[in-house]
Amino acid sequence: MSWGITNVDHRFADKVLTAGFVEAHSHTMTGMYASLPYVGFFDRMMPNGDVVKGLKSTQELTERISTIAENTPRGESIVVSGFDPIYMESERLSRIHLDAATIDHPVFVFHASGHLATVNSFILDKYDIGPDHPAPGIGMGDDGQPNGELREPAAMALASEEYRQIGRIVSAPDTLHHFANSMRNVGITSATDLGALLHLSEKTFEATSETTSAHDFPLRVISACRVIGNATDMSDAARKVLAVREKSHDKLHFPIVKMVLDGSIQGFTAVIQWPQYYSGEDHGLFLLPPEQVVDFLRPFHEAGIGIHCHCNGSATSEVFIDAVETLLRETPWLDHRHTATHAQLMTQAQMKKARNLGMCANFFINHVFYWGDQHRDITVGPDRAHGMNPCGSADRIGLSYSFHTDSPVTPPGHLHTMWCAVNRLTSTGKVLGENERISVDRAFHAATIDAAYQLHMDHLIGSLEVGKFADMTVLDHDPYDVAPETIKDINVWGTVLDGIPHPRPQ
Ligand SMILES: [Zn+2]
């Protein structure tokens, strides 16, 4: 018998086809930008393919909001998202700036971090948020009055209608479509929803399963339930993950769970070892007492469920690696692939131990570009900033790693992460840690097969091999051929999934 080729499909003759990109740390919340106006600093592609210009000053933000106000009925809420105060050179955004945009609408500016919002006086009045309000997290101005900044959910939720509006958008079925389109636009064929809460409810599982199984849905979704609650609930949670795993299909998978152990470095809430932060106030906080981590994770480890643990700070990586060591002494599992995600400040010693234990890292390499200057000058200082997201060291040590965008925290796209890992340029064009740069070939592996590996999915995705899904990323140029500093500028045509082409709107 022969396998004669009778029909050759020439449609991509002038394109470059690669194994589909795999994003091992993103969130379906990415789809919110289809509904909420984007007001971040950098230009950003929306789910429909349009690029929205970044806003470079508080003044530009005020102007954008007053334009929206002109087209919004008086009294109706204006909710915008993606603002990041760290880039603003002018004074910190307050209700005064937002009042200049409109006093006839409640205005809620949701920050990129997801931990803060700034609101106008209309909202402060609407919900009686005055200087004596007992809720924690209400920012105060020098005049002793609330300045409009609401920190963390307890304070943000005071603006109940506007805060709920964000929640409604994030959980709407359309958001999953917008998420998938955002990923397709940048050539990603499989992406995680890391920290999903939904699959523990039957109804939301059914909706997600139906949406993703549609034959034209352009993405394989890898759903990682977030581990929250008491340690005593975890056996039940592990059973639920195993039960939902039974219902996996080609476009929806449940190989891992996610746990969050600390905050962010730029927010000073990550837990960092001595000498801690370089400047600024250390608000490092373990979200779970370190001595409870083993008990928390044991049911998942024993059930054969991969664990991805959010570790931004070096102290947090240490706790997670030690916990995995304890679990492995109790219950050996040679192929666990437990992964420290973010892993930004992993030390050389931690990487060696993680390698010996069979762990992986998923570096938040986009930080080098987006916050690299701030990390060098403010958060951790030059020595440690140069060694952040240490792909080069991981290669030398032999620790398996991927890298991610944490979208919507930074825009999705592996051409950008690869560009960061290969060049390590900050947003002002300075090289941060030249010894941690890696080759294009290593970057390609991290963005494809090594991401699939840490998701326990490399038998299905991450490379083009007989017996695996034929997921492809379609590019205009070959990242191996272009000048390294232009990798991020390569045009993405779209993707191919299950033989179906998914062009991005050009
Ligand atoms: Zn995340």
Q: Given a cut of 70, is residue 198 above it in pLDDT?
A: no
CA of 502 to the centre of ligand 1 (A): 26
When computed from its CA atoms, the radius of gyration of the chain, rounded to whole angstroms, is: 23
Average pLDDT over residues 424-450: 98
Ligand 1 center from residue 69 Cα (angstroms): 32
CA of 27 to the centre of ligand 1 (A): 7
For the ranges 271-285, 338-352, 482-496, the lowest mean pLDDT is seen at 271-285
pLDDT band at 280 (very low <50, low <70, confident <90, very high): confident
Contact 112, 139 (CB under 8 A): no
Give the pLDDT of residue 41: 94
Q: Which of 31-45, 84-98, 170-184 has the weakest average pLDDT?
A: 84-98
**91 CA from centroid of ligand 1 (Å):** 29
For 393, other C-beta atoms within 10 Å of its C-beta total: 20
Please tell me the distance between residue 195's alpha carbon and the centre of ligand 1 in angstroms.
7
Ligand 1 midpoint to CA 145 (Å): 34
- Residue 342 Cα, ligand 1 centroid: separation in angstroms? 8
Residues 150 and 156: beta-carbon distance below 8 Å: yes
What tens digit of pLDDT does each residue of 72-105 get? 999 999 999 999 888 887 788 999 999 999 999 9
Count the neighbouring beta carbons within 10 Å of the beta carbon of residue 274: 6
- Residue 88: what pLDDT? 81
Q: Residue 406 C-alpha to ligand 1 middle, in angstroms? A: 5
Mean pLDDT on 55-65: 94
pLDDT for 506 equals: 85
What residues contact residue 308 under an 8 Å CB cut-off, 6+ apart?
24, 25, 194, 224, 256, 257, 258, 259, 338, 339, 341, 362, 454
pLDDT of 414: 98
Distance CA 48, CA 414 (A): 18
pTM of the model: 0.94
| Whole-number Å distance between alpha carbons of 119 and 147 | 8
Ligand 1 centre from 478 Cα, in Å?
A: 29
| CA 215 / ligand 1 centre spacing (Å) | 28
Residue 116 to residue 137: CA distance in whole angstroms: 9
Q: Per-residue pLDDT tens for 129-170?
A: 999 999 988 999 999 999 999 988 889 999 999 999 998 888
Measured CA to CA, the distance from residue 127 to residue 108 in angstroms comes to: 13
- Give percent above pLDDT 70 in the chain: 98
Indicate whether 1 pLDDT > 70: no
Residue 26 CA, ligand 1 centroid: distance in Å: 6
* C-alpha 254 to ligand 1 mean position (Å): 17
Task: Give the Å distance between the CA of 410 and the centre of ligand 1.
Answer: 10
Classified as helix, coil or strand, 429 is coil
CA of 170 to the centre of ligand 1 (A): 14
CB 337: neighbour CB atoms within 10 A? 19
Residue 3 pLDDT exceeds 80: no
Ligand 1 center to 387 CA (angstroms): 21
Residues sharing a CB contact under 8 Å with residue 32, sequence separation 6 or more, in sequence order: 81, 166, 169, 170, 175, 178, 408
60 vs 83, 85, 90, 446, CA distance in Å?
Answer: 12, 13, 12, 37
- Between the CA of 286 and the centroid of ligand 1 the distance, in Å, is 16
> Quick one: what percent of the chain has pLDDT higher than 90?
83
Distance 151 CA to ligand 1 centre (A): 19
Q: Which residues contact 378 (CB under 8 A, 6 or more apart)?
A: 278, 279, 280
The mean of the pLDDT values for the chain is 94
* Distance from the alpha carbon of residue 25 to the mean position of ligand 1, in angstroms: 6
- In angstroms, the Cα distances linking 502 to 12, 373, 404 are 13, 37, 22
